[in-house]
Structures are given as structure tokens and as C-alpha cells.
Structure 1
């Protein structure tokens, strides 16, 4: 026993020291996401497009032989990655084929300064992905920047858009600025992280009900943001300053579900009625006590609402 106690103390000490390293936190985050993807039936694949190799998670549908399964494409937001959709996707019916790409500039797809990060260019890449996979039509869903890209996909490829789902989407001028939009208007970007304290403030802006994450894991994710600060600044210039949807929403013909967290501090929920008014075939769902990422904060509820909408409209 006398020998065991010092060994336990040493082990605890080493474990504690390990958790203080951001690289350990980032490793834990990445490995947890990989395990979750496997548990939920997703496999990772890479699809070669013209200028890049797009990395995505894919889950095949469970349907009877000869049946054609609907395809659901899930697009993440600015500075995010495919992993944020996993728990939402786990609550979807197994009859959907689900694709969750890392958009250009993000995640494992990576960043190159010569690529375009405009919403129209990203929508073209999603169309190229579907073509490469021989998918004629898809339900396209997106959060934040991903919602803006999904809307542009519906505009650019109406025949390929079975339905559109946008969650707290970017792309139009809100009647009232959110906390984050006010910072952007003042020339500041909370997304461009220089240190861990800035990341922690940013993280609490993104969600009203964040899922549990140990602090050492968040510190690891912060390091990734710090490393990619320059890339994120470039991406923001491309997608925020071009391709506004202010005058284009009435041109969207696809059945559309608009979901918005009423406590969104990134993109003001005051824009939600404008989306509904602009798109004739749309429904609006406001979620109380939810922030900018409903699919992360309440994945089961959000997935159920999406499936109910699709059952009504398709």
C-alpha cells in the first residue's frame, strides 16, 4: 500500500499535467469526434473536386432493395467543421443518406489562399460533390454561413434542391444587430482568436445551451482557432462582403424550413421574419432558450422538427 499511494499520486500528477497541454485537449476532441462518427454509422471519405479534395462524413441509408433514399446534406458554419452535425444526424431516421462535408477552408478539407470562399463558390462545390456521387437531388441544410451557402445552392441549382433548411443563417441585413454583428460593424471580429481568453468569450457567444466540454478540451480547440486566424480572416472577407441575399430570397422556390434560436448572439433573430416573408414556400420555427446552433444545443428536438417538416412538405 505504501508503494501504491505514491504511484497513484504520480499518475494523477502526470494526468493533470497532460490536461494542461492544448495539444492533449485537441487530440481528445478529435478522437472523441471520430468515435462518435463511428458509433453513429458514419464513415469518412474524400472526394476529388476540380481544385481540392473535399473531406466528408457519409452515412448510407437503410432502405429496402430498389428504393431510392433521400439525401440530406448538412453544411456547417464559419470557423466550424463537420463534427458539429454528428449528434443531430444521429437522431435522423436511418432512411436518409447523410453527407456532412468540411467546407473549403475548414476542418480536414483545409485552406488554400487561392481558393474562393464566397457563398456562390461553396455552393458550386456542393453541386460538384453531388455530381461526383451521382446524386440528382438533395435536401440541403446549413447553419450560419452554411445556411447562406445552402440558400445560394437553392438559387443556383433549383432542380437539384428537394428542400432547403436553414438554421440561424447568415446572408441578409437584420433589422437589429446582434452582439456579434455590432462588433463586426465596429471593425472587430470575435472569430479571429489571438489567445485562449478570447476563445472562451467567443465560445460563450455561440450557444445558449452548450453541451458539456472539459476546459482542457476547449483550450485545445482554442489553439486550432489561433493557428487558423489568418485563414479565417480571409474566409470572412470572401463570404461576408459578397453575395447578399437581401434581394434574392423571393427567387428561392424550394420548400424551406427556417429555424432560429431566439437567444442567438451571433446572428440576430430579428432577421428570421424577413427570411419567412422573402421565401414563399417557407415555414419559420423560433426556438426559445436556444442560441446560434440549435443542432448542437438541442440535437434531438431540432432533428425531430426537421423530419416533421420534411414529412409535411415532401
Structure 2
């Protein structure tokens, strides 16, 4: 299937100050079953790496990483179904396993074969399902502050969670807040709540021992939304996985510490030992 594209180059802009509009990217869209997925692409490497964003986000969340990664890889950055430009029409928002199946089909189409996958938060949860259930489409796996482990949902725990995540500083770099807010407003509160319900109802623990791929867990040291303890538990359950903690970073370490993040991902994808 031919992919419509707009040729372009990435301008040389220092990593921490890159904005989405500073990037010139080839853009594509494809229908996967009942869903239409939009994605951006750049780079000409032989291997592809897909970047999956988190809840209420969009492909724009990777603006500070695309230039660094595309120096060696063909980078594919989708808007996950229900978010960004991949808005829902008549079809309902699929649950986590169903959405992972849609993304697995998308990845085979967009990459033309197996690719590396980097998933953040909800995107990490989806990546776990893809790796355990559709492993043939993945080479190496990077889970960034990944969701998927259950947590108590009693009123006391929910209240504490809301208290911890509400302050703006818990989300890291304040210059990124307008992007986060804009994407959340574009997705709409009902869509975000439906996705959150799917996330909280899903438990990836039975899948973790079945992940056969080399796996790196990257975690923000100060993440109060998905705490480091979740990363440590995933490391114990995923065979041969390693964990790297990015000091001073919050829930979005690819935004808070883009240079360290890019260096770690590139080293891991090249086969080097990263983390512990």
C-alpha cells in the first residue's frame, strides 16, 4: 500500500528547545480496520523505531527526541487512536488489548517489517501487549514510565493520587505544559476518561514474563504518577530486562532530560548494556 507523504528535513535546533513546528516531517495516514491512524516520519535509517505517546498526548510529545533518534533510525511517530489527529469517528475507543492489536497492524504497515518500539506511560502499556502478543513486529523494546500495573482504587488512594499529581511541578518542565493542556483539550474529557478507565482495568503482569525481546525500562526519578516502584517490579518480571533511572526527571523524562534520554535509547538500540 503506497504511503502518501510530504518530504521534509529536520532543522538543526538544540534538543531541549525543539518544538513541533520546528520539525519538518513526512506525514501519513492509513485505515486499520475501523480506525484511521495519522503519523509523522523522518530519517532514512535501515531500522525503524516507533514512538508511542501516553494518555491524552500526541506525537508532539516526542518533539525533543525526534532529531536525535532520526540521525540513526527511521522514526515513526503516530497519534494513538483517539488522540492527536487520530480522532475517533463512529467507532468506540477500543480497550487496551484491542488498541494494541490495531497498533501492531499499523506498525507492520508503517515499518514494513519488525521495528524497535519506545512506549511512554499508556504507550508503554500498549507496547507491553504488542510485545507479548504480537512479538514478531518488535525488535527491541523501551518502556518509559509505563502504565499497566494495578493500583488500589479506594477513595483514600484515589484522593492521595490526585493530590500528588495535581501540582504543575509534578509534570516536570513547565514549558511543556501548554502542549499537554492543548492535547488534553483536543482529545476531550470524555475520551480521556474512557481511555483512563481502560488503562486502570488492564493488568499487564501476566504478560511480562512472556516478553522475549531485549527490554529497557527508563524511569523519571521523581515520577509521582507512575512511581519508580512500578519500574522495579516490571524489571523483576520481564526476563533479562534492565532499568535506568533518569535523575531529576518526572513523568515525562523524554521531555525533562531529552539529551540523556536520547543517548540511553540510542545506546540500547545499538546493543549496548544500559541500566542495571
Same fold (TM over 0.5): yes
Which residues in structure 2 correspond to 1:1-314 (within 5 Å)? 33-38=19-24, 42-62=25-45, 69-112=46-89, 114-133=91-110, 135-173=112-150, 185-186=157-158, 201=166, 203-207=168-172, 210=173, 212=175, 217=178, 221=181, 225=185, 228-242=188-202, 244-312=203-271
Q: How many residues align?
A: 255
Separation of aligned partners in 2, 1:150 and 1:134? 15
* Displacement after TM superposition at 1:225 (Å): 2.5
Runs of 4+ residues over 6 Å off in structure 1: 181-184
Separation of aligned partners in 2, 1:275 and 1:34? 32
Residue ranges of structure 2 left out of the alignment (5+ in a row): 1-17
Decide whether aligned partners of structure 1 residues 184 and 45 sit closer, same or farther in structure 2, where only a CA change above 3 A counts: farther
Separation of aligned partners in 2, 1:61 and 1:122? 28
| Structure with more of its chain in helix, by fraction | 1
* Displacement after TM superposition at 1:309 (Å): 1.1
Separation of aligned partners in 1, 2:230 and 2:187? 32
Separation of aligned partners in 1, 2:213 and 2:170? 31
Q: State TM-score, norm by structure 2.
A: 0.82
Separation of aligned partners in 2, 1:153 and 1:223? 24
Decide whether aligned partners of structure 1 residues 127 and 248 sit closer, same or farther in structure 2, where only a CA change above 3 A counts: closer
Computed over aligned residues only, the root mean square deviation of the Cα atoms, in angstroms, reads 3.0
Separation of aligned partners in 2, 1:57 and 1:229? 25
* Displacement after TM superposition at 1:58 (Å): 0.7
Contact 1:147–1:167 under 8 Å retained in 2: yes
Decide whether aligned partners of structure 1 residues 269 and 189 sit closer, same or farther in structure 2, where only a CA change above 3 A counts: closer
Separation of aligned partners in 2, 1:287 and 1:93? 21
Higher relative contact order (CA 8 A, sep 6+): 1
Highest Rg: 1 or 2?
Answer: 1
Contact 1:211–1:297 under 8 Å retained in 2: no
Separation of aligned partners in 2, 1:131 and 1:60? 18
Q: State TM-score, norm by structure 1.
A: 0.72
1:8-67 deviation line (CA, Å, top 9, x unaligned):
xxxxxxxxxxxxxxxxxxxxxxxx9552221xxx222212221121111111315xxxxx
Contact 2:39–2:78 under 8 Å retained in 1: yes
Decide whether aligned partners of structure 1 residues 248 and 34 sit closer, same or farther in structure 2, where only a CA change above 3 A counts: closer
| SS at structure 1 position matched to 2:249 | coil
